[in-house]
Amino acid sequence: MICFAALLVYRIPESKLNGEYTFEQIDDTLRKMNITEFEGCGYTPSYMRTDLTDNLHSFFGYRTNTEIVKKSKTRSIIHQFKEPDILLQSAT
């Protein structure tokens, strides 16, 4: 079961991005997608925008690179992705 779950973690993003990127490229980009907190305002991106980051935003259904994201919105996004079946829902 663990091996199957690990395979899903690799394959779902690759397939959702139409096989244009390898998992290694996706993983590397996600690790570099840092955000900076502006005290009292929210968060803003501190990474280079690329075609892959744009595609990841489309895949996950929200953008972090075009505006300051309020703390409440960030908490809502985090809560949404704590759901155990979020990747399975994205796969369909």
Which pLDDT does position 83 carry in this prediction? 59
Q: What is the pTM of this model?
A: 0.63
Mean per-residue pLDDT, 1-25: 88
Residue 60, phi then psi, degrees to nearest 5: -85, -15
70 in Cβ contact with 79 (< 8 Å): no
Residue of higher predicted confidence among 41 and 83: 41
d(CA 29, CA 48) in angstroms, rounded, equals 10
Contacting residues for 88 by C-beta, under 8 A, at least 6 apart? 8
* pLDDT at residue 56 tops 60: yes
* DSSP label at residue 70: P
Q: In 10 A of CB 65, how many CB atoms?
A: 17
Mean per-residue pLDDT, 22-28: 92
